[in-house]
Structure 1
Amino acid sequence: MKKIILSLTLFCSVLISCNSLKTANSQKAALQGAWELNFISGPRIAFSGLYPNDAPTITFDLKENRVSGKNSCNSYSGTLNADGNKISFKEPMMVTKMFCPGEGENVYMNTLQKIDSYSVSEDGKTLNFKMGDIVMMRFEKK
């Protein structure tokens, strides 16, 4: 009897751990593709003033485990560091070095480094980057 109970407990534990892995993978899978920034927290300048020509973009390539995009002026790319709903952009990224007027580029790159988690809306069209519980950046699926 004890062997049966132990076997059932072990079996249930395996099922639960597989389900949590599936949830983490499905959260990460929702990142796949290109996104365009439509909100950034912090600056006292209107969004259209920060990014008068092009809004920043971010693209996730899960197969290659890469992240890339344009910070409104320069292109950037690096390794994707995401696990479940946790994400980090603290590792150095490759960034082109064209001259960019205004503060938009710096605001974007500095805010990106503060991000520690994300959420994707149920319809898969909105991506929120968070610092703790505070939404710092919001993107729309392109």
Structure 2
Amino acid sequence: MTKKAVFLLVLFSIISSSCCPTKTKEVTSTLGKSDFYDYAWELEYLSGTRIAFEGLYPEQKPFIMFKESGSQFSGNTSCNGYSGKYTKKENSIQFGDAIKTMIFCEGGGEEAFLKMLGKVNKLAFDSDNKLLLLIDDIPMMRFKKIAKPQQ
């Protein structure tokens, strides 16, 4: 490997590791189950896209909600509503295929969101109690809690 390639690899590693908090805690720690389920979690960060986050979601950010009963998730991709089932055991999670409404969406944000949701396999919370969805131990999506919907 050339010196330039090594330098670029080190630089990329530093940049990618600094973009997301690395201190995480499992769902079962200080953030209780009642603080996780039935809240809307708004996306703040999405890894792996070539388009800047604000370019993907210029008007509305995606959100996700988890229902404990029935292991269901739902939300909005910033364009369409979606829902599906998930499997969770401790800090491992798998999302089933999301069923979504069929409004045409521009910009690639919906596709990037749903594609990444299908890849993640773990969840955790950072030191600010933000929800992290990870691939193994690498945060790929970060959400902030925004509201508990009206019953």
Residues 1:31 and 1:41: Cα distance change in structure 2 (over 3 Å): same
1:103 maps to 108
More helix by share: 1
Q: Give the root-mean-square deviation of aligned CA atoms.
A: 2.0
2:58 maps to 52
2:49 maps to 43
3-state SS of the aligned residue for 1:80? strand
Residues 1:39 and 1:56: Cα distance change in structure 2 (over 3 Å): same
1:80, CA displacement in angstroms? Answer: 2.6
1:105-133: CA deviation from partner (whole Å, max 9, x where unpaired): 00001011100001023553x00000011
1:32-79: CA deviation from partner (whole Å, max 9, x where unpaired): 111000000011211110001110000111134211000110111111
1:25, CA displacement in angstroms? Answer: 5.9
Letter matched to residue 141 of structure 2: M
Contact between 1:24 and 1:83, CA under 8 Å: does it hold in 2?
Answer: no
1:113 aligned to 98, 105, 118, which one? 118
**Larger Rg computed on CA atoms:** 1
Question: Identity of paired residues, percent?
Answer: 39
3-state SS of the aligned residue for 1:60? strand
3-state SS of the aligned residue for 2:69? coil
Segments of 5+ residues of structure 2 without an aligned counterpart are: 1-25, 147-151
Letter matched to residue 79 of structure 1: K
Segments of 5+ residues of structure 1 without an aligned counterpart are: 1-22
Residues 1:122 and 1:64: Cα distance change in structure 2 (over 3 Å): farther
Contact between 1:35 and 1:57, CA under 8 Å: does it hold in 2?
Answer: yes
Letter matched to residue 138 of structure 2: I
Q: How many residues align?
A: 118
2:68 aligned to 54, 62, 68, which one? 62
Moved over 3 A (4+): 23-28, 121-124
Residues 1:64 and 1:43: Cα distance change in structure 2 (over 3 Å): same
TM-score, length of structure 2 as denominator length: 0.71
Residues 1:106 and 1:95: Cα distance change in structure 2 (over 3 Å): same
